[in-house]
């Protein structure tokens, strides 16, 4: 992948017709946030609010995600947030394997541009698209994987926490693990050097 740039990325997503999802969207949702962030969060796909506004994670799940980040002292504008597919699947269904594979081209470009040190995979779709179809969120949430120098951790999608609040305990444990990983890697020193005894 040579000569990639954010302009090229946004042009390609905007013009993309590589899967049928483009035909029913109001807006494509490429992702947003700090393009120099050491931390990238990847979800499944846009929902209704995201489709209306063209911004990732702005609905109820997005608000919960913002709270979860705040609990480990991370302002949302200090991370980069996107989804596996950039177009909303009708009725919020799970994207098909073909749709995911088509959109991986864009996701790979995003990862290459942001060059995160840590990636959090929010939910089963992000886990399977990134690490492979034989990975299961219920078994693997909170587990760390290292790929080409990038640390990755799957955890529940915030939508799953809204549907089943009993999952929140595990999700908080995962966020603490994320905070510890960021501290171990000396990332966000301006935040974590000031919080010598973080406890959420």
Decide whether 16 or 58 has the Cβ nearer to ligand SF4: 16
- Closest contact distance (angstroms) between CB of 13 and ligand SF4 is 5
From the list 18, 71, 131, 191, which residue makes contact with ligand SF4 (rule: CB under 6 A)? 18
Quick note: the x/- pattern for ligand SF4 over 20-49, rule CB under 6 A, is -xx-----x---------------------
From the list 13, 56, 64, 68, which residue makes contact with ligand SF4 (rule: CB under 6 A)? 13
Q: CA of 99: how far to CAs of 49, 96, 123, 133, 171, in Å? A: 20, 5, 17, 14, 27
- Closest contact distance (angstroms) between CB of 146 and ligand SF4 is 27
- Closest contact distance (angstroms) between CB of 130 and ligand SF4 is 15
Residues of this chain, 59-98, that bind ligand SF4 according to CB under 6 A: 85-87
Decide whether 106 or 167 has the Cβ nearer to ligand SF4: 106
Decide whether 109 or 122 has the Cβ nearer to ligand SF4: 109
- Closest contact distance (angstroms) between CB of 169 and ligand SF4 is 33
- Closest contact distance (angstroms) between CB of 87 and ligand SF4 is 3
Q: Is the dihedral of CA 68, 69, 71, 75 positive or negative?
A: negative
Decide whether 15 or 185 has the Cβ nearer to ligand SF4: 15
SS3 per residue for the chain: CCCCCHHHHHHHHHHCCCCHHHHHCCCCCCCEECCCCCEEEEECCCCHHHHHHCCCCCCHHHHHHHHHHHHCCCCHHHCEEEECCCCCCHHHCCCCHHHHHHHHHHHHHHHHHHCCCEEEEECHHHHHHHHCCCCCHHHHCCCCEEECCEEEEEECCHHHHHHCHHHHHHHHHHHHHHHHHHHHCCCCHHHHCCCCCCCC
Cα–Cα dist 56/44, whole Å: 10
Q: Does 109 bind ligand SF4 (CB under 6 A)?
A: no
Decide whether 21 or 74 has the Cβ nearer to ligand SF4: 21
Residue ranges in contact with ligand SF4 by CB under 6 A? 13, 16-19, 21-22, 28, 85-87, 99, 102-103, 106
């Amino acid at each position: 992948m040579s000569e990639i740039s954010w302009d090229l990325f946004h042009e390609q997503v905007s013009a993309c017709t590589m899967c049928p999802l483009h035909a029913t969207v109001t807006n494509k949702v490429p992702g947003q946030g700090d393009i120099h962030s050491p931390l990238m969060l990847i979800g499944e796909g846009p929902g209704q609010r995201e489709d209306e506004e063209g911004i990732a994670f702005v609905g109820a799940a997005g608000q919960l995600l913002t709270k979860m980040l705040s609990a480990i002292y991370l302002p949302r504008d200090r991370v980069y947030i996107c989804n596996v597919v950039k177009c909303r699947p009708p009725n919020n269904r799970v994207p098909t394997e073909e749709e995911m594979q088509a959109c991986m081209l864009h996701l790979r470009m995003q990862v290459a541009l942001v060059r995160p040190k840590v990636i959090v995979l929010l939910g089963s779709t992000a886990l399977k698209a990134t690490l492979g179809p034989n990975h299961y969120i219920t078994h693997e949430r909170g587990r760390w994987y290292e790929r080409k120098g990038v640390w990755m951790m799957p955890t529940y999608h915030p939508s799953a926490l809204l549907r089943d609040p009993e999952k929140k305990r595990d999700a908080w444990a995962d966020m603490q693990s994320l905070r510890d990983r960021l501290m171990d890697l000396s990332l966000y020193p301006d935040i974590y050097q000031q919080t010598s005894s973080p406890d959420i």
